[in-house]
Structure 1
Amino acid sequence: MAVAAAYGPTGDIIAPCGKCRQVIFDISPDICFVVREPNGLTTRTAKTLLPLAYDWRAAEQRQRIYMWEGYEPVIRSGAKRQTIRIDDPFRPGPAELVFERSSGEVTVIEAIVTEVRSLSRSELTDDDARRDGFDSLNDLHRALDQHYPGLSDYSTVDVVTYELPPPDGGV
């Protein structure tokens, strides 16, 4: 399917306005617009013409939480039940914990984000450290320094707590 916009008085093909791009994007991001480029007419998808569009479909997808591959065993064992993030917003609801291995293999674990708390790094507690799979608050701070160099005591962090569904799918 392709759509073209034309300038009324001349009938020349013109680029669609932002509102038209968004309306077509809402129908399907893969619909093509006919547009004029320096070498003539060509087609571009609504997604290409509106790269940072509001996409209601994204809200229906599971959020993906990318994790370091070394955390997988402690997550599976239940020793790590949260992650601390900077400028990486999450919300309560279904999620996927994604481990991209150095080998190129990707492992995904289903999870449910149960809580997201925003606080300053200095407000983190020993309980936060334990839920994050660390023996002490000092160990947690060392890991934060490794993952987020230059993070100050006053930087805002998001503490993302999650649960894994029971292995048998039961309650």
Structure 2
Amino acid sequence: MVAVVAVYGRTGQVIAPCGKCRQVLHDLDPTIQCVVRGSNGLEAMTVSELLPHAYDWRSAEQAQRIYMWEGYEPSIRSGAKRQTIRIDDPFHEGAATIVFEKDSGDVVTMAAKVTSVTAVRRCDLTEEHARNDGFSSLAELQDALDTHYPGLGGDDPTDVVTFELQ
């Protein structure tokens, strides 16, 4: 384990590392412990905890994560659902991990591959899109979109993301 501490020279007080230093430490190893002054005295936190939304070049090497509602798991496993329709949630062709965060707290993952991403206005979605998404009709798909994306208009853009399990 590696730990660092920053000290303000004039006073000798422990201070948190600045943002630039946090990013440099994160680039070296996001698990580096930083000693900071907390409400109960000095404590150690990982640089990731200090910089929760750091740029992480390691994530570019990982498969993209597609979060799905746990109710879709059976239809994805059976192959009935081979796509997902997303709004403002960009994906690209390539390796992916489908993630189900269950109400029980369990997390289930499946290796997958995104095979295509196609921009389609909501009003241009078809019965075929509905079937590929595991729905019995376009009306059922539209109801699901209303549930997942309240306020989505007919002319609003969607991304039809097709995938296959690996």
Structure-2 separation of matches of 1:116 and 1:129: 15
How far apart are 1:9 and its partner, in Å? 5.3
Percent identity of equivalent pairs? 62
Flag the 1:67–1:14 CA change in 2: closer, same or farther, 3 A.
closer
Tell me which stretches of 4 or more aligned residues in structure 1 moved more than 6 Å: none
Cα deviation digits, residues 142-165 of structure 1 (max 9, x gap): 221232232211223221110123
Structure-1 separation of matches of 2:69 and 2:104: 13
Flag the 1:27–1:112 CA change in 2: closer, same or farther, 3 A.
same
Match of 1:59 in 2: 60
When the two structures are superposed, what TM-score results if normalisation uses the length of structure 2?
0.81
| 1:152 is the counterpart of 2:153 | yes
Q: How many residues align?
A: 165
Kindly provide the amino acid, as one letter, of the partner of residue 85 in structure 1: R
Structure-2 separation of matches of 1:50 and 1:60: 20
How far apart are 1:128 and its partner, in Å? 1.7
Structure-2 separation of matches of 1:51 and 1:69: 26
Structure-1 separation of matches of 2:149 and 2:126: 18
Kindly provide the amino acid, as one letter, of the partner of residue 70 in structure 2: E
Match of 1:136 in 2: 137
Structure-1 separation of matches of 2:24 and 2:99: 32
Unpaired runs of 5+ residues, structure 1, are 166-171
How far apart are 1:48 and its partner, in Å? 1.6
Flag the 1:108–1:15 CA change in 2: closer, same or farther, 3 A.
closer
Cα deviation digits, residues 37-89 of structure 1 (max 9, x gap): 56654333211211111112222222332323333333233222100122333
How far apart are 1:14 and its partner, in Å? 3.3
Match of 2:21 in 1: 20
68-77 vs 145-154, which deviates more?
68-77
Structure-1 separation of matches of 2:20 and 2:91: 28
Kindly provide the amino acid, as one letter, of the partner of residue 89 in structure 1: P
Q: Give me the CA root mean square deviation.
A: 2.5
Unpaired runs of 5+ residues, structure 2, are none
How far apart are 1:103 and its partner, in Å? 5.1
